[in-house]
């Protein structure tokens, strides 16, 4: 929906015209933003045409209760939710992932992944390894802030409010998801929000006298295109410019789930899996558990829609929900995985089925991890504490190999038994999916932060 306001009177909250559809008078507005990309790349050779969805499991999920149950270890070590056989012979998952267990042949699980420390932050989305920039911003620096064909922002972050206005605001307490390091604000992620950023960012101010008839409106839009071509957007606020491009590119409908087949929306929906009254209020985190269940499925659906419309990197996060200490804030592993595991299992499985049915499995890479793992031994409350030596990691799609377990952990699940997979391996894998490493090596003017993240390490062994 495009909202137009009277410049002369000041827009405030008084909306005087709403135009649906973003296609006026038979004119395809997608053509207006062709050539908008202002990234380092002037050639499409640097881009593979693929996309990444990074599902960030904020708080630090346990490797035991997810994809490395260790059920032969003593009771204080092994998964507190049991294990399930998967479609990969001899491989088991934690007991709250029955649907993913059936689809394990379409996944790759890394059991030797180490994030390097046990700090609460938002690595590997933003870390020293990314130069302090959102990982998607590194991609956008090469691809340009907006897709040159559609106008879609190339980098986006989705919080629960992107699909549900009743949820809490996105959590930036442990790091700023929109950080760009030394790259500049032009490459910051687009952050839509139900009743929040998206609605504000999608407002376009035009004087009343341009709205007298369709011809004048279209002429006004032609003037906007001319101003863009003359470089007059350069002084605009980055978010306003990006919203301009999104509106004129005709892709705003990608953000609107009402445009999706209702049957598909229903398949993704996780809101019925966990009712708020089923969550113990003794945990301060109970609202985050409820928000996660209410929004996770639709967030992944929205992420798929954005990728289809030309977004190359989408970060999905549902606030601080995987921190299972069994303390005043957080539930125990067994209880917390009831709150978190089932919505995750349903949402990711729905996504896998959806992209496969649409022929997009090789075009979209899904990555699921947090900022750390959990201690090998449960604490006295049945929770697990911070652990930086080993963490769970799941990948699917993007043309990577599937149906396998990469690496091994020690018997107590606390260390990598085989060569550890590091953050640098992961970043090289992710960026190597959306950017061509060979072209990067021979292209001038690529910032050192981008080159180091993409080429400073080999990708995860066995995946490419």
| Cβ neighbours of residue 109 closer than 8 Å, sequence gap 6 or more | 67, 68, 91, 392, 393, 394, 404, 405, 406
Per residue of the chain (464 residues), give pLDDT as tens: 344 444 444 433 333 233 333 332 233 333 333 334 444 444 479 999 999 999 999 999 999 999 999 999 999 999 999 999 999 999 999 999 999 999 999 999 999 999 999 999 999 999 999 999 999 999 999 999 988 888 889 999 999 999 998 998 888 889 999 999 999 988 999 998 744 444 344 443 334 443 344 455 445 555 555 665 666 555 556 656 666 655 555 577 898 899 899 999 999 999 999 989 999 999 999 999 999 999 999 999 999 999 999 999 999 999 889 999 999 999 999 999 999 999 999 999 999 999 999 999 999 999 999 999 999 999 999 999 999 999 999 999 999 999 999 999 999 999 999 999 999 999 999 999 999 999 999 998 899 999 999 999 999 999 98
Amino acid 30: pLDDT = 36
Whether 117 and 370 have beta carbons less than 8 Å apart is answered as no
pTM of the predicted model, to two decimals? 0.84
Amino acid 38: pLDDT = 42
Rounded to 5°, the CA angle 373-378-380 comes to 140
User: Which of 394, 353, 387 lies closest to 371 in space, CA to CA?
Assistant: 387
Which pair of structure tokens corresponds to residue 31? 């053509």
Domains defined along the chain, listed by start: 32-203+254-455 (3.40.720)
CB-hemisphere CA count at 13 Å for 361? Answer: 15
Amino acid 31: pLDDT = 35
Element (H, E) at 303: helix 286-308
Q: Identify the bridge partners of residue 146 per DSSP, sorted by sequence position.
A: 153
């Amino acid at each position: 929906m495009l909202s137009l306001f009277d410049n002369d009177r000041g827009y405030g909250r008084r909306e005087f015209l709403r135009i649906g559809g973003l296609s006026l008078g038979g004119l395809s507005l997608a053509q207006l933003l062709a050539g908008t990309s202002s990234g380092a790349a002037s050639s499409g050779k640097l881009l593979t045409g693929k996309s990444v969805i990074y599902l960030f499991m904020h708080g630090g999920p346990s490797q035991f209760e997810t994809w490395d149950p260790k059920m032969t270890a003593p009771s204080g070590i092994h998964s507190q939710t049991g294990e399930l056989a998967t479609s990969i012979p001899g491989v088991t998952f934690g007991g709250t992932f029955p649907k993913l267990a059936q689809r394990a042949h379409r996944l790759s699980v890394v059991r030797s992944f180490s994030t390097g420390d046990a700090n609460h932050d938002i690595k590997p989305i933003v870390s020293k390894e990314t130069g302090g920039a959102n990982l998607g911003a590194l991609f956008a620096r090469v691809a340009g802030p907006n897709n040159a064909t559609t106008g879609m922002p190339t980098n986006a972050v989705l919080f629960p409010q992107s699909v549900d206005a009743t949820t809490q605001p996105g959590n930036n307490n442990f790091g700023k998801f929109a950080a760009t390091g030394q790259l500049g604000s032009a490459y910051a992620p687009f952050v839509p929000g139900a009743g929040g950023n998206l609605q504000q960012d999608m407002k376009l101010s035009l004087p009343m006298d341009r709205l007298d008839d369709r011809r004048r409106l279209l002429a006004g839009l032609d003037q906007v295109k001319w101003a863009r071509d003359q470089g007059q957007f350069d002084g605009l606020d980055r978010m306003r410019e990006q919203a301009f491009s999104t509106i004129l590119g005709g892709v705003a409908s990608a953000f609107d789930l009402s445009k999706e087949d209702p049957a598909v929306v229903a398949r993704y929906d996780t809101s019925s899996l966990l009712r708020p009254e089923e969550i113990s209020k003794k945990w301060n985190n109970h609202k985050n558990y409820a928000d996660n269940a209410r929004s996770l499925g639709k967030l992944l659906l929205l992420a798929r829609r954005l990728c289809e419309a030309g977004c190359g990197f989408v970060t999905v996060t549902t606030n601080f929900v995987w921190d299972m200490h069994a303390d005043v804030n957080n539930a125990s592993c067994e209880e917390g995985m009831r709150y978190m595991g089932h919505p995750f299992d349903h949402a990711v499985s729905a996504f896998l089925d959806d992209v496969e049915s649409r022929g997009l499995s090789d075009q979209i890479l899904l990555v699921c991890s947090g900022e750390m793992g959990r201690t090998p031994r449960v604490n006295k409350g049945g929770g697990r504490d911070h652990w930086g030596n080993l963490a769970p990691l799941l990948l699917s799609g993007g043309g990577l190999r599937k149906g396998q377990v990469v690496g091994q952990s020690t018997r107590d699940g606390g260390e990598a038994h085989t060569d550890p997979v590091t953050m640098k391996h992961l970043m090289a894998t992710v960026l190597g999916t959306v950017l061509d490493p060979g072209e990067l090596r021979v292209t001038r003017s690529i910032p050192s932060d981008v080159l180091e993240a993409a080429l400073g390490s080999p990708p995860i062994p066995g995946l490419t």
